[in-house]
Copies of this chain bind each other. A is one copy, B any other.
Amino acid sequence: MSGMKRVLVYGGRGALGRSCVAYFKEQNWWAVSLDLVANEDANANVLVVADADWAEQERSVLSQVEEVLEGSKLDAIVCVAGGWAGGNSASDDFIKNSDMMIKQSVWSSVIASRIAAKHLGSGGLLALTGAKAALEGTPGMIGYGMAKAAVHHLTQSLAAPKSGLPADALVAAILPVTLDTPMNRKWMPKADTGSWTPLDFVAQLFYKWAEGSDRPKSGSLVQLVTTGGVTELIAG
């Protein structure tokens, strides 16, 4: 890894995470995957213990990250962990699903911020994953919207002075509508996939930002709006 640029992909075994690990490696970056299960394509793996509490997850993750980095700094941290669950306030699963959404989106994004505070180099990238839908109320998926709104707020806090991130770091969140993943194709077989954002597009976008190209302002919530297979970026 000496001489190579280094990226950590949080959620590196998911569909988008695997695309990111693969794409950065093709560009000759060293890539570490952080997930519940190892990504064998990554140069190194950090594993999260699923049933540990938030603070225990942090302790275990930070100690493994320190070990694999061997004193080096990261040039980019990309957090694409997350999930989806619906439900309004009348649903018996409202709290179970809200809890899951907070764990999947907020816990991961906050631990990614801790990794950034400790190991991101000056001028590095921290990219988080929000959701375009959460820019407004989401009555049919309240827990999901709350968790993503928290991630949006985290992005804005981290971009402000004295947030604890290193000097000149770029923090930004992508706000997708629907990503073109195998799971989404399986569960929504009749959908118009021309409005779904290809995973390669997202991996390339992170890579450009990581290399310092076309960077949005730090704190940006960047909507990914895909029409007819073409994705437009709208930075809020």
- Chain A residues close to B by CB (< 8 Å): 53-55, 58, 88-91, 94-96, 98-99, 102, 106, 110-111, 113-114, 116-118, 134, 136-140, 142-143, 145-147, 149-150, 152-154, 156-165, 219
Contact = CB atoms under 8 A, between A and B. Distances in A.
Given A55-B96, A111-B95, A157 B163 contact: no
A149 B152 contact: yes
Interface residues of chain A: helix, strand, loop or mixed (majority): helix
Nearest to A165: B89
A136 B156 contact: yes
Contacts of A114: 89, 94-95
A150 B157 contact: no
A10 to B, nearest CB: 14
Most buried by B among A99, A102, A138, A150: A150
Nearest to A58: B95
Contacts of A161: 139
A117 B87 CA distance: 12
Nearest to A91: B164
Nearest to A59: B95
8 contacts: A88-B117, A88-B164, A89-B164, A90-B164, A110-B146, A137-B159, A140-B162, A142-B158
